[in-house]
């Protein structure tokens, strides 16, 4: 599964890979470059581009609309939050979430996810300070920060360090993170995983 495949206009080289499905949180060239994907196995890539409930290959995906900015979408429009239930785990991907608080229906749908993909770099989304407040409110087992400044990226964003400082945490970038229910930390021992960039 791929989520928000980016384009070369981002300043980064998009990877080419196979996927059964692609989720797009909002229609922007740095999030909807579906052409870089090819179908894994036979068939076509299953495309999910907005709110609703979807199921494929035993994976349940629920999409909920949110705002891309803190002005009720007046500046950047809407964004889709995806909650993915797979192999007994719940993953939540906030996309380009821009609201400073969680609406009650979103909070209820999120519950306590096993893994939370959280934007932290500011710009068109929440910054490190707001992201830390939301992370502490949601209390996932694993937080994977995203949408922050890395070498080569053209977008003007803060680095992940701002979020880490707000969380009072330090973490070394990891080469890869394998998602398995048996490998998740206990709820009390939540972990922040920073993935190494190419």
**More reliable by pLDDT, 65 or 13:** 65
- Check: pTM over 0.85? Answer yes or no: yes
Contacts of 44 (CB under 8 A, 6+ apart): none
**13-46 pLDDT per residue, tens:** 667 777 777 888 866 555 455 666 556 766 767 7
pLDDT of residue 42: 66
Give the residue extent of every domain in the chain: 51-192
Q: Above pLDDT 70, what percent of the chain?
A: 85
109, containing H or E segment:
helix 104-110
61 backbone dihedrals φ, ψ, rounded to 5°: -125, 125
Average pLDDT, the chain: 86
Residue in 116, 106, 108, 107 with CA at minimum distance from that of residue 84: 116
Q: Is the pLDDT of residue 64 over 90?
A: yes
**94-118 pLDDT per residue, tens:** 999 999 999 999 999 999 999 999 9
Q: Which CATH architecture has domain 51-192?
A: 4-Layer Sandwich (3.60)
């Amino acid at each position: 599964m791929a989520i928000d495949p980016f384009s070369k206009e981002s300043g980064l080289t998009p990877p080419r890979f196979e996927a059964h499905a692609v989720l797009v949180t909002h229609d922007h060239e740095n999030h909807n470059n579906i052409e870089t994907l090819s179908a894994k196995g036979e068939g076509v890539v299953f495309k999910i581009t907005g709110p609703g409930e979807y199921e494929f290959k035993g994976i349940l995906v629920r999409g909920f609309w949110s705002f891309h900015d803190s002005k009720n979408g007046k500046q950047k429009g809407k964004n889709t939050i995806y909650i993915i239930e797979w192999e007994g785990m719940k993953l939540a991907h906030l996309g380009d979430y821009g609201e400073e608080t969680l609406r009650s229906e979103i909070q209820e749908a999120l519950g306590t996810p096993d893994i939370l993909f959280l934007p932290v770099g500011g710009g068109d989304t929440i910054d490190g300070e707001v992201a830390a407040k939301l992370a502490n409110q949601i209390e996932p087992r694993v937080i994977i920060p995203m949408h922050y400044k890395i070498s080569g990226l053209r977008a003007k964003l803060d680095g992940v360090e701002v979020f880490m400082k707000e969380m009072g945490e330090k973490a070394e970038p990891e080469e890869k993170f394998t998602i398995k229910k048996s490998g998740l930390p206990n709820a009390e021992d939540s972990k922040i995983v920073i993935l190494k960039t190419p």
